[in-house]
Amino acid sequence: MRAVIQRTTEAQVIVEGQIVGEIGRGLVVFLGIEEGDTVADLNYICDKVTGLRVFDDENEIPNLSVCDISGSVLLVSQFTLCADARKGKRPSYIKAARPEQAIPLYQAALARIGESVPVQHGVFQAMMQVRLVNDGPHTILLDSKKSF
C-alpha cells in the first residue's frame, strides 16, 4: 500500500462538476492499494497518516500531527500510485488491486482514519479533479512494504 501525503490549508475533490469532499487545514492523502495488501498494511498507513508530526508548533517546529491541530483528512483513492514505470514509456498498473479487494480496504481506511479526525473522500473509480494548496510545500511518501 502506498500513500502520498500533502499538508494543506484547503483542498477539495470534484466529480462531474460537483464538490464531493472538502477540507480546510489538514492532510490530503492519495492512497494506492496493491494486490496482496492486508489489514496490516492498512493499519501501518492509517497510523502514520494520523500520527505524522508535520504541522508547526508554537516554535515553528513540525511537532504536531493532524490530530493535534484538530485538522481533517481528505482521502483519495489513486491506483496510479501502484504504477511500475521502470520499463518502457507506458506505466504498468498490474500491481494495483482489483476493485473487489481495494474497495473494502479503502472503506476500512476511511473508517480507521475517521476514528481520529474528520475525514472526507473522493469517489472510488471516478474521474476526479483534486484541488489543493500544498502548504510548505510539504509532501511525504509512504509505502507499507517500506520499499522507499
Residue 38 a catalytic site member: no
Q: What is the pLDDT of residues 5-28, one digit of tens each?
A: 999 999 999 999 999 999 999 999
> Which one of 80, 107, 125, 129 is the catalytic residue?
80
d(CA 27, CA 9): 8
Confidence check: pLDDT of 147 > 90: no
Q: What is the pLDDT of residues 34-73, one digit of tens each?
A: 999 999 999 999 999 999 999 999 999 999 999 999 999 9
Q: For 60-87, b where at least 16 C-beta lie within 10 A, e where not — what string?
A: eeeebbbeeeebbbbbbbbbebbbeeee
Q: The C-alpha cell of 131 is what? A: 484541488
Residue 139 a catalytic site member: no
Confidence check: pLDDT of 148 > 70: no
Residue 79 a catalytic site member: yes
> Which one of 8, 12, 50, 78 is the catalytic residue?
78
Answer whether 118's CB lies under 8 Å from 3's CB.
Answer: no
> Which one of 8, 30, 50, 79 is the catalytic residue?
79
**In the chain, % of residues over pLDDT 90:** 97
Q: Which domains does the chain have, with CATH numbers?
A: 2-143 (3.50.80.10)
| Confidence band for 118, pLDDT divided at 50, 70 and 90 | very high
Answer whether 78's CB lies under 8 Å from 17's CB.
Answer: no
